[in-house]
A and B are shown apart, each in its own frame.
Chain A
Amino acid sequence: MVQQPSIEKIRTHLAEQFSLPTDQIETMMPSFIAALSSHMQNLEKALEQNNPLLLGKAGHTIKGAFLNLGLGDCATVAMRIEEKGKQGDTSIDYRSLVEDLRVRIKPLLR
């Protein structure tokens, strides 16, 4: 069962990790979610190009975003894409990993 992240979990993380006040979090949240959506699109583009190195770079970028938002489970999946992609590994089912991420973050992008 995939654990889906929530906006509330991100709010709590931003407050605890970065000492951000509530109103600042509310101001920043829409742009953070938009950035996450953009990173996901880049990952999917890299997947369609069937290019492990591009997948590695896109995986690295979205991993950083997930870590900043406190989404450790998502970051773990992204890190696998990053590591295998950078190695140029073509034996990995990248499509499943990207699909896994898409399912996990779907509630955030509504």
Chain B
Amino acid sequence: MAGKLNILIVEDEFISRALLKEMLSPFGECSTANDGAEAIEVLHASYEKPGGRYDLVCLDIMMPRVNGQEVLQEIRRIEQRKGLEGKDATKVMVVSGLDDAQNRMEALVVGGCAAYLTKPVSKQQLEEQLRQLHLIETSTNSH
């Protein structure tokens, strides 16, 4: 994918949110949502705005009000209504402190997330994942 990415970071914990934003900012414009309910509002608006869709959603799982699995399901519901499936679906990277099989399977199989990373995530891991998802070029060097 050429050009700067439009990224949404959904994370309720301040330190994780700040670090993800810091690491992802070299690759594009980062917006943040502090919990799942705020994320759903932001996401609904993004699908209505021309060119407003996110190239990547970084999503925590365990959050107050609405959890990450519910956000992921809502993303897929919106996209199904709009006929956005397969390669047109938004790439979602789960970044969670939960590493149990149930959450992994639900996010990967039911929610169709593109990657499931367990905290803490280093800059190197994050960049490697962005490359695997073809969101940045292999030769990209942010340093």
Contacts and interface: CB of A to CB of B under 8 A. Distances in A.
Interface of A: 17-20, 24, 28, 31-32, 35-36, 38-39, 57, 60-61, 63-65, 67-69
Given A60-B62, A67-B119, A18 B23 contact: yes
Given A18-B123, A31-B14, A60-B62, A67 B97 contact: yes
**Residue among B64, B120, B122, B124 with most chain A CB within 10 A:** B120
Given A35-B15, A69-B15, A19 B123 contact: yes
Contacts of A67: 97, 119-120
Contacts of B124: 19
Given A17-B120, A67-B120, A68-B119, A61 B12 contact: yes
Contacts of B122: 17-18
Nearest to A70: B120
Interface of B: 12-16, 18-19, 22-23, 62, 64, 97-98, 119-120, 122-124, 143
15 contacts: A17-B120, A19-B123, A24-B22, A28-B18, A32-B15, A36-B15, A38-B14, A39-B13, A60-B98, A63-B97, A64-B97, A64-B120, A67-B120, A68-B15, A68-B119
A19 B16 contact: no
Nearest to A62: B13
A60 B100 CA distance: 13
A2 B15 CA distance: 24
A68 B19 contact: yes
B18 A31 contact: yes
Contacts of B97: 60, 63-64, 67
A17 B124 CA distance: 8
Given A19-B23, A19-B123, A35-B13, 18 more contacts: A17-B123, A18-B23, A19-B124, A19-B143, A20-B22, A28-B18, A32-B18, A35-B14, A35-B15, A38-B14, A60-B97, A61-B13, A63-B97, A64-B15, A65-B15, A67-B97, A67-B119, A68-B15
Contacts of B98: 60
B16 A65 contact: yes
Contact of A18 (B13, B19, B119): B19
Nearest to B60: A64
A48 B66 CA distance: 25
